Amino acid sequence: MAKFYECLDDTLKTFIGKQHLFFTGSAAATGRVNVSPKGIDTLRVIDDHTVVYLDLTGSGNETAAHIEQNGRMTMMMCSFDEKPLILRIYGRGEVIRKRHERWAEFKRLFETYPGERQIVVLHVESAQTSCGFAVPRYTYEGQRDTLLNWAENRGPEGIMKYWTEKNQNSIDGFPTKLLAE
What is the total count of domains within the chain? 1
Q: Is the pLDDT of residue 1 over 90?
A: no
pLDDT, one tens digit per residue, over 99-121 is: 999 999 999 999 999 999 999 99
**Does a structural domain hold residue 176?**
no
pLDDT digits (tens, 9 = 90+) for 42-98: 999 999 999 999 999 999 999 999 999 999 999 999 999 989 999 999 999 999 999
Q: Taking residues 128-153, report their average pLDDT.
A: 96
Taking only the tens place, the pLDDT of each residue in 15-25 is 999 999 999 99
Q: How far apart are CA 75 and CA 122, in angstroms?
A: 8
Quick check: is 25 in a domain? Answer: yes
Give the residue from 82, 34, 73, 83 showing the smallest Cα distance to 50: 73
CB burial of 122-159 (b: ≥16 within 10 Å; e: otherwise) equals bebeebebeebeeeeeeeeeeeeeebeebbeebeeeeb
CA-atom Rg of the chain in angstroms: 16
- 173 within domain boundaries: no
**Mean pLDDT value of segment 32-40:** 97
- Domain that includes residue 89, residue range: 3-166
**pLDDT tops 80 at residue 181:** no
* Position 107 in a domain: yes
Q: Is residue 21 part of a domain?
A: yes
The answer to whether residue 179 sits within a structural domain is: no
Q: What is the CATH number of the domain that holds 87?
A: 2.30.110.10
Do residues 143 and 20 touch, judged by C-beta distance below 8 A? yes
pTM of the model: 0.96
